[in-house]
Every structure is written in C-alpha cells, then in structure tokens.
C-alpha cells in the first residue's frame, strides 16, 4: 500500500511516497521512507508524529491505511502561551 511521510523545516519541506506492506506501522513507514537521509536531524524513534494532523500516541503500534500521510513534528521553540504573552507585552 502507498503512504506518504512528510517533514518540514522553515527552509525545506519534503513529502516522500513509500510503499509499505499491509499492516505496516507508522514507525516502519518512516524508516522505510528514507526521510532521515534527507533530514539527518530526525530521530525516527523519538520524534513526535501524526496522521493527517492527529497526533499518534504510539507510532510503534499504529497501523496505517492506504493513502495515510505520516507527519513528523519538530519540537516547539517556545510554548504558544508564552509567545502570546510576549506579543502582548510588546504591544503594551
């Protein structure tokens, strides 16, 4: 079955199509996709990921369906609440 693995940095984005066997998990698809060769900073075993914007709690056990897009999430640089507070302080 065909799935996609997506990752984005501010300077570069990539979506890799990968064929995986029936019953493949999200972590298997990420490793098979070769996206870690394109983005060496990705640690496939530790990075947060989701399918179509919904976070996967256990990528090792999450079975994929045909056409799924696995999204790899970078860590936040700043907590969104703190960013909002910082913007409010600048305006004041």
Cβ pair 20, 26 in contact under 8 A:
no
Domain topology for 2-91: Ubiquitin-like (UB roll) (3.10.20)
Cβ(56)–Cβ(62) under 8 Å?
A: yes
Q: What is the pLDDT of residues 23-68, one digit of tens each?
A: 999 999 999 999 999 999 999 999 999 999 999 999 999 999 999 9
- pLDDT value of residue 90: 85
Q: Where are the domains of the chain?
A: 2-91
Predicted confidence at residue 52, as pLDDT, reads 95
Q: Sort 70 into a burial class: Cβ within 10 Å, 0-12 / 13-18 / 19+.
A: buried
pTM for the structure as a whole? 0.80
Pick the more confident residue, 76 or 58. Answer: 58
């Amino acid at each position: 079955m065909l799935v996609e693995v997506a990752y984005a940095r501010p300077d570069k984005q990539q979506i890799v199509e990968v064929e995986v066997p029936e019953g493949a998990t999200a972590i298997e698809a990420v490793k098979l996709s070769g996206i870690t060769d394109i983005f060496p900073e990705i640690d496939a075993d530790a990075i947060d990921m989701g399918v179509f914007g919904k976070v996967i709690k256990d990528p090792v056990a999450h079975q994929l369906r045909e056409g799924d897009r696995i999204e790899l999430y970078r860590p936040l640089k700043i907590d969104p609440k703190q960013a909002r507070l910082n913007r409010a302080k600048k305006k004041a």
